[in-house]
Structure 1
Amino acid sequence: MLNLNLKITEEMLDLVNVGFYIFQDDQFKYVNKEISKITGYSKEELLSANPYEFLAEEKERDRIREFTRLALLGKFENLPCEHSVKIVKKDGSTGWVTLRPLPVIYNGKRAIICSVFDITDAKAEKQRKEELEKFLGLINKIVRHDLINKLSAAISYLDLFMESKGERFVESALRSLEEGIEILQRMKDLEYLARSGKEERTVSLKHVFERVASNYDVEVAVFGDCSVVADDGMYSVADNLIGNAVKHGKCSKIDVTITRKGKKCEVKVTDNGIGIPEDVRNSIFDEGFSQGGGTGLGLFIVKKLIEKYGGEIRVESNIPQGVAFTITLNVSEECSCL
């Protein structure tokens, strides 16, 4: 076991860009400058504090206590050579560090010297990449689902044209194809912005729902407005809610009421259709769930997008008939709400 020369060791460790501390008798006996830089605490504050209090999670405190006990007994064979933990900094923010301990003799007694590597940025980048992959998978689902709907509609209109020669069906087919192209372009832009990390912006909900409503031959009334933090995925949210009400709910009228409530924006989408049976309401947001022979992706996409924006969505009956979807989103700081 290494026997540390106190003065030489402390002078050397203060020169490196890696955090080091010496732990003995349930407290820090030494911390170098890098530890102060990582945590935001001064050396004096660290030396007088309970080391375990810097760990963000209680379960990690128990785990590190046990690791420390075994390490001080020299039982390293069953211990990881390194361990990553979440810490709380002086300013209240959290970070991640990797600990690599070694047994030493310090001032004639058993101790642990531990190198500390700040992996906060690396952890955040890994998490961003994982979230990006999930979102790109969702974009792929949106394209498949929404584009198939538009192409299917175009085919149906062309079939009707072949039967009746009504020119209005050709116009409707062309409109569906144009909407399909718009979806592809929108999702392409959204993918680019997602990869650049700049996908979210201020979005006017009134503009989104009115734009989508113009593609449907039912009465859609939009009341109020609110700017929220979202992206072009909101068009898919609106399209799926209105499209479901028309296709599966067989409605003739849809009301979209947008209301600001403090720092939140509530969007209520109600229709006068056949409604959703109570026994399946808890399943309608599940991927693959469908009652009408569809893909089962529409409402799944809606829920995932709303959650991505930090919001929530719920469903209930509309009185006297139909269904009501209520969405809650965060208001943008640039919000201009009516």
Structure 2
Amino acid sequence: MPPEQRGRVLVVGARTAREALLTRLAESGFACASAEDMEGVPQAATSLQPEVILLATAAKQAAETLEGIRSIEQLRHVPILADVSRSRSPETLKKLAVDGFIRGAEEMVPRVEAAVRAGRLRESEERTRLRMGMLLDITQAATSSLEMEEILHIAVDKVGRVTGSDRCSVVLVEGSHARTGTVVATQENPSLVQLEIEIVRYPELRRALETRQAVLIEKAENDPLMAEVRPSILPLGVNSILVQPLICQDDLLGALFLRHSRPDTTFGRDEQQFAQAVAGVLANAIRNSRLHTAVKRKREDLELAYVERYRELTDANRRLKELNRLKDEIIAVCSHDLRAPLQVLLGHGRLLLESTITAEQKQSTEAIIRQGRKILGLVESLLEKGKGEAARLSIEPRRLDISLLCKESTHELNILASQRGVTLRAEAPESLMLIGDEVKLHEVLQNLITNAIHHAKDSGRVTVRALRLTRPDGDAVKITVQDDGSGIPPDELHLVFDRYRHGPKGTGLGLAICKEFVELHGGEIWAESPPEGGCIFVFTLPMAQEAPRKPQAVVKEEPVQPRVLVVEDEAEIAAVLAEVLRSRYRVEVARDGQEGLARARTMRPELVVMDVFLPKLDGLEATVALKSSSDTAHIPVILLSAHQGVAEKVRALNLGAVDYMSKPFNAMELLNRTERALKAASSEREVERPSAVTLRSGSDPGTNLYDKRGLMAKLEVEVAKVRRYHRPMSVAVLRPERPQADVPRGVADVLRKRLRPQDAVAHMGSGVFCVMLPECDAESARNVIQRLLPELQTSSGLAYQPAVADVSQDSDPVDRILDKLGAPLVP
């Protein structure tokens, strides 16, 4: 048996021990080498490439020798056997971390042979694992990218490492009889691509392409196929060659070319199977790449445009984030820097007020202190706002006269107007009551008046007017601040309320804060450029509704105002709720769920406003108790909670509550919702009354949604707003497949639950519904409605036909737009 077939053994130890072991191993057919100590091990290992190491050193040197062998990377995983048959301290050797022990001469050959087989098996498994891993990497590369050159470079690199070849290349051809080919990837020189070669100069490649079969040249020096090129390849040391054709769906695409130059090396069966598997993967990838080339070329232009647009958006987003961060820093720094001088100003103002001064000086000092405190309050508000977008400004509402507030603000700023030679006057002929935050509304007025004074002409005038505005959805207050300055160009009016932008004339926060404060009160604010010049800033606020007076001829013991029971355990929130609701209703307060339930049963209020989380009995359980009793089931319940999740809202409504509000709440929103709940309850009790009476309420008694008149009133207000501020808003009309005599309740429930809180829904009659979608263009609105249609059909059994229009882009009146969408005409 040849030595290479039995195994290669490196013997390390003293000379006498080595000679006996070497003789026995050589007689048994093993190739051997020896080393006396660690100094000779590296050289012997390099020349022999051992499969087993036999340790025959003395016990005191064995541990050191073993550690030295394991430190050599080449020998780290080679099995090591220790010969203990001749050792005087066999127990010491047995403690070594070796792979086995030889206790006698008769054990040596079987032990060595078993170690050789185990090592070869482990190497074979490792090579198999490596091939499978490399094949998986190539497959993943081929399926994750259509860039052919990248796939082929990865493939030749991994195939070369697995097979140990010194050349691995991919050659592409056009058909079986092509005379030339193109080397598109090679292991030797990765930068070498698109190299044209002549097929006739490579007989092994020509044979593989013609026969479409793999060609293996085991010994190039004596293979007949290589006879014509042998003089040119022998100087290069070519030893073994493997050519595997690349074929996919009967299309010949090229070949995978591998070469060994080391003597006594060839491509075994495993390497041939691996090359065949890789060739299948590469052939499929090359064909896919060619099929996608045309599509890729067409796509490149689109991708280029997309990339450019993406870069622009990314850059804009980066600038926006930077500006937002800078804005927060400016707010925080300015607010902090303003605090200290304001405190000093207020301190000296109080000292001055306590001293002996004239009446005129006292009036000026009081104005300084009052304005200083308001500025300090604004600073605190800015600090709170600077904490992030999650911080929300809230209002402390109470009943106030906005006419009086306009006069006071004008009086306070008369000194500033006199210094600039501007005439400042207020025109507020009547008392105009509303529910609002006096501090914030005073800040709005002062900001607008101050701006008007600064922009008025020299010796010009500024006029503040307050008047009542009659609207379909309730009276409102209209405040105008007009100056006679240079004015604002019409195309820049919509910029003045943006943060840090006032058109080309500057930046600031004042008007943005004014807009925020006005909208907190449920109002709106805008700017106008009148024909006579100058500028007018206008804002509107909902007025407090006056309680109806009893006819003098009718004497009733019952109070005129509806009774509302507030159930809230936090005293501060209960006080705010009571203060807001007392402007329209008679209010009673309960401190926990049990007390609220008891008082509801005794006093029978028209409405209950109740917190969800209450001591003794929570709001949800109290609602169930109210709805379970015939005496109180008719009382509408509005639940309040700091939890803003949709699941909590749905749960509350399913238990019988008519509405659900999140804390902190807006005062006007609370009043609007209570009024809506009371009207809905009244409509349910008076469902037998003539339809003309019901229509005046603006709500449909069958669904608790808006009716035709109510929708028209709301649309007229909202459409005017969106057209003024250039914001999108869409209206959708849903018509059933056939007119309905009864109200399809399932449709109303789906629309109420699935749409946003700011969306408005109306029943127009005959089963026709109309949906108002603020901040939604026509395309987005169509998508929303299309998602609802299957659920509407499931709940009602009716197929609905939608029609959608963007009212902000349509200049027609509201009734004309609804008519075009197919809504029933409003009588």
TM-score for the superposition, normalised by structure 1: 0.43
Q: Kindly indicate which of the two structures has a greater share of residues assigned to helix.
A: 2
Q: TM-score under structure 2 normalisation? A: 0.19
Give the number of the structure whose alpha-carbon radius of gyration is greater: 2
